[in-house]
Amino acid sequence: MARSSGIRGSRIGAGPMGESERGNSVDRVVVTFWCAAGHATPTVFAAEAVVPESWDCQTCGEPAGPDPDNPPPAALTAPFKTHLAYVRERRSDADGEKLLAEALAKLRQRS
């Protein structure tokens, strides 16, 4: 088996790695956001960037804010509903019986 003497992960013509090749990096600031569950989400922003008032928590996905003592309230989510639950909201039992009778009559006519 032939082995390469090159550095793994580099390519031909790749120069030295460093700021001189990529340019100077900008000043950064780390802002930690806190959710209602107490999770901390440290986030890096450019120093001149406008820091948002809220950020999604990396742990639970709830809204988080920069003040650990006053985090934003958890987002309200509706419970999962099945298709049948939505149908029952729109139709009464009498409507359902009528539709069922019509569908059965159509099926019996085909036979």
The residue ranges of every structural domain in the chain are: 26-65, 78-111
Q: Which of 33, 31, 29, 30 is nearest to 67 (CA)?
A: 33
For residues 24-32, average pLDDT: 89
Contact yes or no for 64/71 (Cβ under 8 A): yes
For residues 49-56, average pLDDT: 94
What is the Cα–Cα distance from 23 to 5, expressed in whole angstroms? 29
Considering the segment(s) 26-65 as one domain, its CATH architecture is Single Sheet (2.20)
- Provide the whole-model pTM: 0.52
Using pLDDT thresholds of 50, 70 and 90, give the confidence band for residue 22: low
The 8-class DSSP code of residue 26 comes to: P
Q: Above 90 in pLDDT, residue 17?
A: no
The overall average pLDDT reported for the chain is: 84
Instruction: Give me the DSSP letters along 45-66.
Output: EETTSPPPS-EE-TTT--EEES
